[in-house]
């Protein structure tokens, strides 16, 4: 008789806000996961661009959390020579959480990390949109052929279960349309403009609150929504579509007058991404649109996001909400791990 192991070694690759949030999440939830799901996750490796550290018995998450935002190279045991290839070649982990920054043109360095991990029998969960955007068919086929997890739920809206809803809940159906409010930052800015702030004032408020980045271009110009939309089109619709094929218009050109006019008419402006099938080809666009009170997106306010799927046999599915921030995003990445454990992909 064979027994299923429940002990797995996790490595974090890319130690920014999401990496630190994952450490805090492990402190908060590891015991709960052991009790509720029977999975025992031990953080054994942490890597960033300058090196990292490893402990076969599990790293001290309390000490790491207390280290806060200080540079990793000042943490006890840091090794500037420790690298990704060594971690994989020496079989120091069973699962990696790939959190390096997104490069939407090349997918690197995350693409090489994910490819090498899968080639060597290591499960992957990732927040990195770049590799999924540029190489989803290759990576998904590699994971499937190897019997491995490739968790991508965190790439399309953090805690919002957009991939789960589209790929799993709609399994067996032909999805003809995907549409959604896919960026919480722009939705927050539009909500504040409805309250009377102009675009610049609303943006500055969002930046002061940590909702918008110092350089907000990816969000306000619509590219973050476009990237998420293309990933969903690839994962859910098996669409052969590239980011360059998507016309994108952001929200920076909107005025208070336009917002007021729409509100008086009982409508609201939302930045909507939409993908659809047209003559056997998947097409997509991102642009501000006006929706009335009968539309499901009308009530999606502040930082909330949503996605809607239209299918032939399962009808429409609308999902909204999902908390924002590093901890919910980390929880999304770990959710893919737990689901893979529950369904027997991770053994």
Active-site residues, by number, are: 228
CA–CA distance from 335 to each of 80, 155, 200 (Å)? 31, 13, 36
Cα separation, 57 vs 43, in Å, equals 9
List all residues 6 or more positions away from 134 whose beta carbon is below 8 Å from its beta carbon: 104, 105, 106, 107, 111
Cα separation, 270 vs 292, in Å, equals 11
Q: Six-digit token pair at 313?
A: 């046999």
Cα separation, 47 vs 90, in Å, equals 15
Cα separation, 71 vs 227, in Å, equals 30
Cα separation, 126 vs 115, in Å, equals 12
Q: Six-digit token pair at 216?
A: 């907000």
Q: Where are the alpha helices (DSSP H) in 40-128?
A: 61-67, 84-89, 110-119
C-alpha atoms less than 13 angstroms from C-alpha of 291 in its C-beta half-sphere: 19
CB 41 within 8 A of CB 8: yes
Strands (E), the chain: 7-13, 40-48, 51-54, 95-98, 123-126, 150-151, 175-181, 267-278, 281-292, 305-311, 316-321
SS3 label, residue 157: coil
CB 266 within 8 A of CB 224: no
Measured in residues, the chain has a length of 347
DSSP assignment letter at 248: B
């Amino acid at each position: 008789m064979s027994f299923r192991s429940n002990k797995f070694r996790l490595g974090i690759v890319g130690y920014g806000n999401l990496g630190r949030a994952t450490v805090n999440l492990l402190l908060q939830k590891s015991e709960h996961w052991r009790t509720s799901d029977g999975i025992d996750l031990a953080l054994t490796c942490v890597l960033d661009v300058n090196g990292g550290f490893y402990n076969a018995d599990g790293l001290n998450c309390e000490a790491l959390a207390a280290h806060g935002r200080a540079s990793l190279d000042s943490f006890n045991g840091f090794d500037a020579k420790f690298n990704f290839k060594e971690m994989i070649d020496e079989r120091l982990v069973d699962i990696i959480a790939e959190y390096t920054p997104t490069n939407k043109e090349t997918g690197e360095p995350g693409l090489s990390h994910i490819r090498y991990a899968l080639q060597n029998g290591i499960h992957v969960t990732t927040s990195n949109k770049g590799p999924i955007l540029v190489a989803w068919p290759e990576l998904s086929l590699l994971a499937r052929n190897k019997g491995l997890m490739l968790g991508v739920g965190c790439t399309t809206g953090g805690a919002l279960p957009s991939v789960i809803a589209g790929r799993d809940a709609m399994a067996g159906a032909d999805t003809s349309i995907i549409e959604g409010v896919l960026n919480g930052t722009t939705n927050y800015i539009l909500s504040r403009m409805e309250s009377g702030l102009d675009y610049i004032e609303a943006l500055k408020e969002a930046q002061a609150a940590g909702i918008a980045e110092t350089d907000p271009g990816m969000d306000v110009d619509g590219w973050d929504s476009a990237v998420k939309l293309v990933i969903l089109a690839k994962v859910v619709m098996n669409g052969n579509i590239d980011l360059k094929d998507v016309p994108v218009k952001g929200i920076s050109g909107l005025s208070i007058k336009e917002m007021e006019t729409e509100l008086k008419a009982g409508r609201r402006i939302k930045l909507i991404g939409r993908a659809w099938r047209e003559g056997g080809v998947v097409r997509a666009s991102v642009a501000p649109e006006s929706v009335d009170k009968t539309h499901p997106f009308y009530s999606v306010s502040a930082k909330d996001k949503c996605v809607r799927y239209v299918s032939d046999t399962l009808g429409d599915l609308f999902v909204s909400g999902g908390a924002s921030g590093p901890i919910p995003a980390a929880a999304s990445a770990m959710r893919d791990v737990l689901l893979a454990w529950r369904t027997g992909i991770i053994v």
